């Protein structure tokens, strides 16, 4: 199948790309992550993907960084799990629309690799978007490849992030909450 893969970061994409290519699928990556803040962090992650795609000769579509629109959406709900479910929907919706418009056979997301995300929520959103846009959602539990992705990252010396993406997640990761306690 010709599959459009939403890429959350190069380490997660490395495993999915390897796995789906081995199965004979034709893979195109789709970079759309306005949830990554601040901008220099966004750039570091995007550049890691550029480096990987060059080394592996894989096609990637780079979407714009609509940071303000994303923030407006996120500030309506800052608590987990809804904050994250909205964030997945925001990025996966655009992926499904693009896949439909460009006649891909299916779309999926590397969010399915992460052991830190709401896996069932991602699956549900994928299935919902599949019905809405009339395009197949390729589902696989990629979490078993989480460590393999990390190993590929090391091998290629790719940048690997320390927090999920948004400013709230950075604050949560580094203990900002404790300051207010």
- Work out how close the CB of 51 gets to ligand SF4 at its nearest, in angstroms, rounded to a whole number: 22
The helix (run of H) or strand (run of E) holding residue 28 is strand 26-31
Nearer to ligand SF4, 87 or 152 (CB): 87
Residues 42-101 within binding reach of ligand SF4 (CB under 6 A): 83-84, 87
Residues 146-165 within binding reach of ligand SF4 (CB under 6 A): 164-165
Residues 12-51 within binding reach of ligand SF4 (CB under 6 A): 35
Name the β-bridge partners of 5.
Answer: 29, 108
Most distant CA atoms of the chain, gap in Å: 52
Q: How is 78-121 classified by DSSP, letter by letter?
A: -STTHHHHHHHHHHHHHHHHHHHHTT-SEEEEGGGG-SSS-HHH
Length of the chain as a residue count: 181
Nearer to ligand SF4, 35 or 53 (CB): 35
- Work out how close the CB of 157 gets to ligand SF4 at its nearest, in angstroms, rounded to a whole number: 24
| Number of residues near ligand SF4 (by CB under 6 A) | 9
CB of 19 closer than 8 Å to CB of 142: yes
Among 9, 48, 125, 166, binds ligand SF4 (CB under 6 A): 166
Distance CA 111, CA 64 (A): 19
Nearer to ligand SF4, 29 or 165 (CB): 165
113 binds ligand SF4 (CB under 6 A): no
Residues that bind ligand SF4 (CB under 6 A): 35, 83-84, 87, 164-166, 168-169
């Amino acid at each position: 199948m010709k599959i459009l893969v939403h890429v959350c970061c190069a380490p997660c994409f490395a495993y999915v790309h390897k796995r789906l290519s081995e199965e004979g699928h034709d893979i195109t990556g789709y970079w759309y992550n306005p949830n990554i803040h601040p901008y220099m962090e966004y750039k570091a992650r995007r550049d890691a993907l550029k480096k990987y795609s060059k080394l592996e000769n894989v096609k990637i579509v780079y979407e714009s960084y609509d940071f303000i629109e994303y923030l407006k959406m996120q500030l309506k709900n800052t608590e987990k799990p809804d904050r994250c479910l909205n964030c997945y929907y925001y990025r996966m919706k655009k992926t499904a629309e693009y896949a439909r418009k460009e006649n891909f056979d299916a779309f999926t997301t590397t969010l399915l690799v992460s052991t830190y995300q709401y896996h069932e929520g991602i699956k549900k959103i994928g299935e919902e978007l599949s019905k809405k846009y009339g395009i197949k959602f390729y589902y696989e539990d990629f979490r078993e490849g989480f460590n393999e992705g990390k190993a590929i990252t090391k091998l290629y010396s790719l940048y690997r992030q320390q927090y999920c993406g948004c400013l709230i997640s950075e604050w949560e990761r580094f203990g900002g909450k404790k300051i207010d306690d």
